[in-house]
Structure 1
Amino acid sequence: AAYLERAGQLAWERGDRQDALRRFREAVRVDPDQWAAQAGQGRALAALGRTTEALGAYRAALARQPRPEYALELGELYESLGLERAAEVQYGVVRERVRVAAAHGGDESLVLGRFEADHGDAAGAVRRLREVWERQPSTEAADALGWALHRAGEHEEALPFAVRATEGTEGGGVRSASYVFHRGMIERSLERYGSARRHLKEALQINPWFSPLWVPRAKTALARLGEPSVQAGPEPA
């Protein structure tokens, strides 16, 4: 079941919704307590437009394994559907599950930092994620800190972390649509339009369904960038 769940996650990361769903379902069939696969089903079903089933899968995962990241994904799905009140309930669950984990010696700082960057206190997320980065630097921490800095308006400082998370030569190299999207949006804020356009396109090519909340924003940002103008000459990289 763990192998099947990982295979489903890899299929999801490359944008293969149907294969991801098939793998996640098989993992749950083999082991009904494979809640990461249950949440994965929610992710894949949402991408397939099967929203009611997706909500049910997420709720089932949270009922037995109330991980804060599952609540965050469900909250963002609700928000993408315009169900703000339901989204806020799930965002409250994120905070509560992080608090409970901390009381039992768990550390969910990375999830909380990601959540706060997008739905709460971006400056607070930066402080929290700096501590995570200093304690245990990783590709995931680089992406989260870079995005939090961007959300807090610190675009110049954000970019090296986004590069670290997306470039193999910088110790990252994870081909993640979400990470590449973050880099593109940071570059757009810095008026590096050529790189921004390239990375936003790449994110949507890697996985056109990487987030029900952020994919529409990626498409809007890309549309506003438009195509490069031949008459205007080369764009900033």
Structure 2
Amino acid sequence: MDKKASSRSGHRVRNTVITLTLGAALFTAGAIGLAPNGNTSGAPAQPSAPARGSLDALQFRVKQMPKDAGAWAALGMAYVQQARSTADPATYQRAEQALRRSLAVQHDDNTNAQIGMGALAAARHDFPTALDWARQATRSDPYSSVAYGVLADAYTQLGQYPASYQAVQRMNDLRPDAPALARASYTFELRGDTKQAATLMHRSLDAASTAGERSFAHTILSTLALQTGDTRLALREAATGLRSAPHDSALLEARARAQAASGNTRQAIADYEAAIDIAPLPHYLLGLGELQQSLGHKQQAEAQYAVLRGQETIRRAGSTPADTDAILFEADHGSPARAVAMAQEALKTRPFIAVHDAYAWALHQAGRNREALGQADQALALGTRSALYRYHRGVIQHALGNNTAARSDLETALRTEPHFHPQHAATARALLKRIDTTS
């Protein structure tokens, strides 16, 4: 990009910033001092994978023109996105092969392949490697908004939050499109400012240029509504998204959680099952399994847990760090000691707040509550508005005999999101009654 084009882009972004009033701390030069999700539970995902026709076209292109580095890079990135939405590990291998083929054709200044390698490493939870590739991409093309998005994601998951804000700032300076605004929204979500996060996600929705971007925005808006206990709004956002994308698994899962929180468990189960039929992602399986277990459907719950155990076997064989869902599942439904080991390994490449929370819970389940409290404090150090994190710390505080602190965390969890979990919400209420009785 030439300097003149860069200037026009920067002027446009500054005007957008002023118009949106996004918050002086993030969208000015002073972004270094900020401290912002683990979805919600992790960095904002990319939109759904390209349509099958797009893959067919790219595969045809590289066969016809095997020296087209750009086509190989595009094919690799398409595979990365497909793997994220289908949970198929083999697709990651195809992605890496395509991206390395692109780099073999054009080794230097191949920004698109470097971006793809960074996204692939992030999808595999190898965030130090993702950071290395993202830095290469931003050096190759300092004006690539997408490269700064990968850089921001890597910094976030590595717990380097001030650096991530700078990357988000730069991304928005270059191009304030839907992905850039979504990442800005996430920084506010991590800091517990769900109102500003929702405002920015609405801006992202307005800026969306693809069906995937619109579906993603509605998914996050539904999740943010649930975080404030507004189940009606959560259902409305998910339903709006599903009208345009009825087979979007993330929207189906978002509606399932909203239905469960509303007490519509039959519809929640149907939505979970529909989402899993499309993509058997671990958090879908765990969500459905624990909902079924809360309803006394032991056999149906165990069916989901069996799939999770199978996925864990595959993960261990591939030496991929565990995600937080796998750690929490192992802590609650398997071996707490193994969950502790999984969390310790995950923290080596992902010292992110969601992993600290999962580690805290695993330590608690293993009876190591003093260590658990330190990890729970780290999980909440940014001010993240997570009922589950608060619940975990409240239970840990109670186990340590700190009833006043336990009551505060448990009450905050239930006030934030009254139906945050099909099993733990009820446990939180019962524990509060026990604390009140014994105090």
Q: Indicate how the Cα distance of structure 1 residues 106 and 5 shifts in structure 2: closer, same or farther if over 3 A, else same.
A: farther
Which residue is equivalent to 1:122? 336
Checking the alignment, whether the CA contact within 8 Å between 1:178 and 1:203 is kept in structure 2 is: yes
Aligned to 2:230: 16
Deviation at 1:109, TM superposition (A): 3.5
Equivalent positions of 1:19-34 (< 5 A) are 19-34=233-248
Distance (Å, rounded) in 2 between the aligned partners of 1:129 and 1:24? 32
After superposition, give the CA deviation of every residue in 1:120-177 in whole Å (9 maximum; x if it has no partner): 1110000010011122100100000001000000000000110111133xxxx21100
Aligned equivalent of 2:398: 188
- Structure-2 residue corresponding to 1:143: 357
Q: Which residue of 1 aligns with 2:66?
A: none
The residue number in structure 1 matching 2:411 is: 201
Question: Which of the residues 195, 216, 222 maps onto 2:432?
Answer: 222
8 Å Cα contact 2:357-2:379 kept in structure 1: yes
CA RMSD of aligned residues (A): 1.7
Q: Name the residue aligned to 1:5.
A: 219
Q: TM-score, normalised by structure 1?
A: 0.90
SS at match of 2:246: coil
| Alpha carbons 1:78, 1:84 under 8 Å: kept | yes
**What CA distance in whole angstroms lies between the structure 2 residues aligned with 1:108 and 1:35?**
22
**Alignment equivalent of 2:311, drawn from 73, 97, 110:** 97
SS in 1 for 2:401: coil
Aligned to 2:254: 40
TM-score, normalising length: structure 2: 0.49
Answer yes or no: is the 8 Å Cα contact 2:235–2:259 preserved in 1. Answer: yes
1:173-231 Cα offsets, whole Å, 9 max, x none, are 211000000000000000001100111000000000000111110001110000785xx
**CA–CA distance in 2 between the matches of 1:137 and 1:77?**
29
Corresponding residue of 1:235: none
- Cα distance in 2, alignment partners of residues 125 and 105 from structure 1: 15
C-alpha spacing 1:111/1:199, structure 2 compared with 1 (3 Å): same
Q: Are residues 1:174 and 2:381 paired?
A: no
Asked if the contact 1:68/1:95 (under 8 Å) is kept, the reply is no
Which of 147, 161, 164 matches 2:378? 164
SS in 2 for 1:55: helix
- 1: distance between equivalents of 2:371 and 2:427? 22
Alignment partner, residue 64 of structure 1: 278
| Length, aligned pairs only | 225
Q: Which runs of 5+ in 2 are unaligned?
A: 1-214
**1:93–1:163 Cα change, 3 Å:** same
Paired letter, 1:15: G
Whole-Å separation in 2 of the counterparts to 1:25 and 1:98: 32
Identity across the alignment (%): 37
- State the distance in 1 between where 2:321 and 2:370 align: 29
Quick check: 1:43–1:54 contact (8 Å CA) kept in 2? yes
Question: What is the alpha-carbon distance in structure 2 between the residues aligned to residue 201 and residue 42 of structure 1?
Answer: 25
Distance 2:223 2:342 in 1: 27
Gaps of 5+ in 1: 230-237
Q: Displacement of 1:100 after TM fit?
A: 4.7
Distance 1:158 1:105, change over 3 A: closer
Counterpart residue type for residue 422 of structure 2: P
CA contact (8 A) 1:66 1:97 kept: no
Asked whether the equivalents of residues 2 and 34 of structure 1 are also in contact (C-alpha less than 8 Å), the reply is no
Please state how far the C-alpha of 1:53 moved relative to its aligned partner.
0.7
Partners of 2:282 and 2:313 in 1: CA distance: 10
How far is 1:32 from its partner?
2.4
The one of 270, 273, 290 equivalent to 1:76 is: 290
Which residue does the alignment assign to 1:155? 369
